[in-house]
Structure 1
Amino acid sequence: MKLSVLLSAVAIAGLTASANAADLGGPSTYSGYNAYSAASAPAPLIANFFDGAAPGSITVAGITVYGTVDYSAVYNSHGASPTGTLYQGSLYQISKISGGSQFNGTNNAMSQSFVGIKTNEKLSDLLGAESLTGWSLISDAQIGFDPAWGDIADVCKTLRMNNGLGAVPLDQTANLDGSRCGQIFNGALYGGVKNSELGQLTYGRHNSLLNDALGAYDPEAGSYAFSLFAFSGTVGGGGGATEDARWNNSIRYANTIGIFRVAGMYRFEGMEQGGDAYSGNIGVDLPGPLKGLSIDGVYAHFNDAIAASNLSAGDCAALATSIAACQRLDVLSATVSDNDAWSIMAKYNFSHFGFDNVTAMGGYEHINFSNPDSSLDSLTTIGGYQLFGGDVNYNKYLTDKQFDLFWFGGKWAISPKLTAAAAWYHYDQNTFVTNSGTSTTASTCNGKSGTAASGNCGGSFDWVGASLDYQWTKRLDVYAGVSYSQADDGLSSGFTYTSTWNPAFGARFRF
């Protein structure tokens, strides 16, 4: 799907909105940019384009068109060549396929580029019934894309393009699993009702509760280049499987009751996403002497969670295709598991001490992987990709695999336009028994990293990110930063290199 199609969709959406009469106006609900004072003198046309109304304010008759376009340049000390559908833009996390240094012009280093249309229609106005005051119809639909390449976000295609190739650096281009796999609406796609007292109930495709909560407590939230949570959906909202960072076929309820926030979600099985799943979230903004402190807790369970990967050369042979032909098949391998994840997180704004421009954030997350109790009813995964039945592993975790993750960081609004952020993320893996036949006791795993390590051995992983973001105008910001990641012991199994550092800079336009 090329960018021209996206631009046509935006144009059509704009025409549709302009056919309605009223502009509801009001403050923008789009977050993530700093306060900005308008110029005192009339600005020329180009300045109005970048410095007109704030992002998220193109609203007519309850319909809002909004979005982000992010261009960036990235250096990887150990990377792999990106392709157009890799929506993260670059391989920021050290991995098996990390090779030599890379410098690329790409996109989405700071945030996902997308176009969205959301609605908030008051039922009392729509139906002319005062008895419906406080009720609204709401919806949201988002198309994620890669502006540097002109493609719809489709990270599963990067797996397909590497079918049949080994994991030796330079054999493969950058490839990952993810929750955006070529669907037109690969971000949100939901609709429902909202009441000012009873909360909101929606059905469709949502971010997971864990995804949203981690984003709210991550200093580098939304940045593929600088945040582990944004780059890796496995730990950043997927509860062990990155495809589960967003839920198809799900129903979600959320409300604020006094100082408490509550939310719950349930995903029905099928709809290209394995088994069913459920999740709950409770949070609190503390008052009085503890004002500025927010705490959230989230739990999620996933049945038949799918972690997709590229096919091996043996898989391609079993499909009676050449390697070249195999790379054109929308067929992938997968590991299936039942996953449990829970997290507790907190942030504190230092306004009580006169530093309302400084916020500290941190938390803990635990993920448990176990063999599933059942097999998949369908071998179709997100984006319509098919799983090769001969290489779907239901028996990887003979004993449970566990991740324990900690993070800490903060944001500092140095000025109304300039914001600094930094974060450290660390997680550990236990030694578990797998069906691959490798060593399973801790004593045989100690001190082994990279190609000498077994993937079921205990290990650790660290990511450090830091960034500066300058809000040049209301809609345009420029940014620069760096991340560093390092894998050790079992979490570096098969790696030629065990660390990489990744400076990145770019510009982002939001409307």
Structure 2
Amino acid sequence: MHPKHFFKLALLPLALTQALAAQAQDTLSPSTATSQEAPNLLSRFMNDDNPFRVNFDLADHPAYFQVYGLVDIGLSHINHSLPENYELANNFYPYAGAKKTSRTTARTNWVNGGWQGSRLGFKGEVDKLQVWDHNFKFIYQLEAGFNTLDMKLHDAAQTLADNSGTNANASVSANSSMNGELFTRQAWAGIDGGTLGKLTYGTQYNPFFEITVTYDPNGKADSFSPLGESGTVGGGGGVSENSRMKNSLKYANVYELESHDKINYAVINQFGNSAGTSHGNGYTTQLGYESTAFGVQLAYDRFFDSVKSGSAAPGNPLANDTIAVSLYNTQAILLAGRWLPSKDLKIIGGMEWYQLQPSSSPTIGYNHIYDQTVFGGVASSALKPGFKQDNYVYYLGANFDFAQRVPALNGLTSSIGYYLTKADAIEGPTVSTNSQGKIDTWTAMVDYKLNKRFDTYLAYTTNHFSGDKYPSASNYTHVTSYGAGLRMKF
């Protein structure tokens, strides 16, 4: 497909939103409505900050319930890829590379989540719950991730099962923290004590994930940024499944200084090895500082017996429709910062180190996980005792807001970023040189905010693979993708 078609797709929503705005204006014009009349549903949807929020009293306690969501559909081209898989949040996966197989070719298709995965959620609170002369709030949030193109829940484990045994390399597949559960993105409840902090329990984002949402120059784009494509580097501290911590207890607080700068801190613990709720136990701590011109976030991550799922036994028909499970201990550090030298320019960068280690338990029995059969019925340590592997991610980029200099371009922003991912050789009694590799990634995006609900974007990413981990005889050394999409938030 010619690149001009992607520009046409990016501009198409402009006509749509102009028509919607005109319709809303006509509805509220003096000829059809009086100023005392309530706005109609379309006008409220287009203009309210929270169009589906309901405020009410619950036994004399102020409360609200809100439905919210995001829909993101794009058209994407990739030069080397297996067939897309709509069970994944990102249907193409340029950062993962591409093996040279008969099914790997250039592809152009519609994708879900070019920038962000589509989702539908519910959240709310009940206020003024007084205990010991202090007001508390009961808070909760439930969020499901789904594919707009086929309306199925995100289920990475199913993509792995689809590619096991004799079906190896049938389509794009990946491990993830979203594996078919209804509220797989978030599902938690807790207490907000204001200056005392928040205490919440359930399925919650790892602070690594939350930091990279804000501290990625390309907005943690699901199909174009390594931090968005990969939970391994974009939230899990070495294992993608840990980017969302199930069966976890979290305490977080923000302390505001007299200068209105803020210090934030958090600690979260996952209680692990409970089939159906979480797999592996661990904790993450976070400390940060935020001002209008500068911000920095630091986090430390430690997990034991973490589960990493994958496709099982390529070529073995007994492995069809199963998945393989390996175990790791991990530790990781993330440091990220931002600087605003002017109102229109933001510089963002960071570095992450994570180490893969042998698991504490050599084997753990798992007959089923994520509603999938585990091949062999057991998870084993991916590394032998005495071995370890260090991995590094460095990135730097910038955002530019055109409206600050040219008001006529209000809503237009652009970003660019460079990411270096480096895997050292597995070290131990012997050195495994084929585990050493490097990925150089460049990503650029342009976004135009049409109104409160809609924005449209163009994006490009190129990934260069080198080192013994990615031999050119069996892997493509360059994987490039570009696309355009429309995103709606409500």
CA displacement at 1:161 relative to structure 2: 0.7
> Is 1:478 aligned with 2:456?
yes
CA displacement at 1:380 relative to structure 2: 5.9
Cα deviation code 1:241-271 (max 9, x no counterpart): 1111101100001001233101000000124
What is the CA–CA distance in structure 1 between the aligned matches of 2:241 and 2:311, rounded to whole Å?
Answer: 15
Aligned-partner SS, 1:115: strand
What is the CA–CA distance in structure 2 between the aligned matches of 1:130 and 1:300, rounded to whole Å?
Answer: 34
What is the CA–CA distance in structure 1 between the aligned matches of 2:368 and 2:182, rounded to whole Å?
Answer: 15
After superposition, where does 1:334-349 map in structure 2 within 5 Å?
334-349=325-340
The answer to which of 129-138 and 412-421 deviates more is 129-138
Aligned to 2:114, which of 109, 112, 115? 109
Distance 1:97 1:255, change over 3 A: same
Question: Conserved in 2, the CA contact under 8 Å of 1:358 and 1:410?
Answer: yes
Question: Conserved in 2, the CA contact under 8 Å of 1:71 and 1:106?
Answer: yes
Distance 1:121 1:96, change over 3 A: same
Aligned-partner SS, 1:473: coil
Unmatched tracts of structure 1, length 5 or more: 1-37, 320-325, 446-453
Question: Conserved in 2, the CA contact under 8 Å of 1:270 and 1:378?
Answer: no
> Is 1:406 aligned with 2:411?
no
Aligned-partner SS, 2:95: coil
Aligned to 2:75, which of 67, 70, 73? 73
Q: What is the aligned partner in structure 2 of residue 267 from structure 1?
A: 270
Distance 1:428 1:59, change over 3 A: same
Aligned to 2:55, which of 43, 47, 60? 60
Distance 1:498 1:137, change over 3 A: same
What is the CA–CA distance in structure 2 between the aligned matches of 1:131 and 1:475, rounded to whole Å?
Answer: 42
Q: What residue identity is the alignment partner of 1:473? A: N
Distance 1:380 1:293, change over 3 A: farther
Q: What is the aligned partner in structure 1 of residue 412 from structure 2?
A: 418
Q: What is the aligned partner in structure 1 of residue 10 from structure 2?
A: none
Question: Conserved in 1, the CA contact under 8 Å of 2:24 and 2:42?
Answer: no
What is the CA–CA distance in structure 1 between the aligned matches of 2:355 and 2:426, rounded to whole Å?
Answer: 11
Question: Conserved in 2, the CA contact under 8 Å of 1:71 and 1:108?
Answer: yes
Question: Conserved in 2, the CA contact under 8 Å of 1:55 and 1:475?
Answer: no
CA displacement at 1:225 relative to structure 2: 1.8
Question: Conserved in 1, the CA contact under 8 Å of 2:366 and 2:379?
Answer: no
Aligned-partner SS, 2:376: strand
Question: Conserved in 1, the CA contact under 8 Å of 2:263 and 2:290?
Answer: yes
CA displacement at 1:316 relative to structure 2: 4.0
CA displacement at 1:334 relative to structure 2: 2.1
> Is 1:367 aligned with 2:354?
yes
What is the CA–CA distance in structure 1 between the aligned matches of 2:144 and 2:363, rounded to whole Å?
Answer: 28
Aligned to 2:288, which of 280, 283, 292? 283
Distance 1:154 1:41, change over 3 A: closer
Aligned to 1:257, which of 237, 255, 258? 255
Question: Conserved in 1, the CA contact under 8 Å of 2:362 and 2:380?
Answer: no
Q: What is the aligned partner in structure 2 of residue 245 from structure 1?
A: 243
Tell me which protein shows more strand as a share of its residues: 2
Q: What is the aligned partner in structure 2 of residue 153 from structure 1?
A: 154
Q: What is the aligned partner in structure 2 of residue 224 from structure 1?
A: 222
Structure 1 residue runs of 4 or more that deviate by more than 6 Å after TM superposition: 38-41
Root mean square deviation, CA, Å? 2.6
Cα deviation code 1:326-378 (max 9, x no counterpart): 23xxx31122110001111110122xxxx212211101110000111214545
Identity of aligned residues (%): 21
> Is 1:48 aligned with 2:43?
yes
Unmatched tracts of structure 2, length 5 or more: 1-20, 28-39, 57-63, 257-261, 404-409
Aligned-partner SS, 2:343: strand
What is the CA–CA distance in structure 2 between the aligned matches of 1:483 and 1:268, rounded to whole Å?
Answer: 37
Cα deviation code 1:391-438 (max 9, x no counterpart): 744142552111011111121121231111111110211112489xxx
Aligned-partner SS, 1:197: helix
Question: Conserved in 2, the CA contact under 8 Å of 1:121 and 1:137?
Answer: yes
After superposition, where does 1:8-157 map in structure 2 within 5 Å?
42-44=25-27, 48=43, 51-54=46-49, 58-61=53-56, 62-97=64-99, 99-124=104-129, 134-157=135-158
Q: What is the aligned partner in structure 2 of residue 27 from structure 1?
A: none
Q: What residue identity is the alignment partner of 1:160? A: A
Question: Conserved in 2, the CA contact under 8 Å of 1:50 and 1:476?
Answer: no
Question: Conserved in 2, the CA contact under 8 Å of 1:72 and 1:507?
Answer: yes
Q: What residue identity is the alignment partner of 2:273? A: G
Question: Conserved in 1, the CA contact under 8 Å of 2:363 and 2:379?
Answer: no
Distance 1:241 1:360, change over 3 A: same
Aligned length: 433
What is the CA–CA distance in structure 2 between the aligned matches of 1:254 and 1:382, rounded to whole Å?
Answer: 30
Question: Conserved in 1, the CA contact under 8 Å of 2:365 and 2:379?
Answer: no
Distance 1:284 1:39, change over 3 A: farther
CA displacement at 1:39 relative to structure 2: 8.6
Q: What is the aligned partner in structure 2 of residue 357 from structure 1?
A: 344
CA displacement at 1:133 relative to structure 2: 5.2
Question: Conserved in 2, the CA contact under 8 Å of 1:77 and 1:101?
Answer: yes
Aligned-partner SS, 1:308: strand
Question: Conserved in 2, the CA contact under 8 Å of 1:281 and 1:297?
Answer: yes
CA displacement at 1:56 relative to structure 2: 6.7
Q: What residue identity is the alignment partner of 2:208? A: L
Question: Conserved in 2, the CA contact under 8 Å of 1:295 and 1:344?
Answer: yes
CA displacement at 1:50 relative to structure 2: 6.0
Aligned-partner SS, 1:48: helix
Q: What is the aligned partner in structure 1 of residue 447 from structure 2?
A: 469
CA displacement at 1:379 relative to structure 2: 1.3
